[in-house]
């Protein structure tokens, strides 16, 4: 993704996935909202922002910057 893109959760098409917030030593909470990426290009930092709302009405909003690494990501 070389151009800015926004993903919304839940995705109306059902193809993108979902967003959850894992509470420490507890359970996960379903989120609604969006994630914005400036661009995603291997070798360059991934930067963007997020704006989510929990089912209880708590807002989770912020920016992020991530560097590429050799770690294995586990999804499930």
Give residue 51's pLDDT. Answer: 97
Tokens of 44: 């360059």
The C-alpha atoms of residue 42 and residue 30 are separated, in whole angstroms, by 29
Instruction: Write out pLDDT tens, residues 12-64.
Output: 777 767 888 887 777 888 899 999 999 888 888 999 999 999 989 999 999 99
- For the residues of 6-31, what is the DSSP string, one character each? EEEES-TTS-S--EEEE-TTS-EEEE
71 or 5: whose pLDDT is higher?
5
């Amino acid at each position: 993704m070389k151009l800015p893109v926004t993903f919304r959760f839940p995705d109306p098409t059902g193809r993108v996935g979902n967003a959850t917030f894992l509470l420490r030593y507890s359970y996960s909470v379903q989120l609604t909202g969006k994630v914005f990426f400036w661009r995603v290009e291997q070798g360059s930092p991934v930067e963007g922002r997020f704006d989510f709302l929990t089912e209880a009405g708590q807002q989770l909003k912020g920016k992020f910057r991530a560097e590429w690494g050799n770690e294995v990501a586990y999804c499930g």
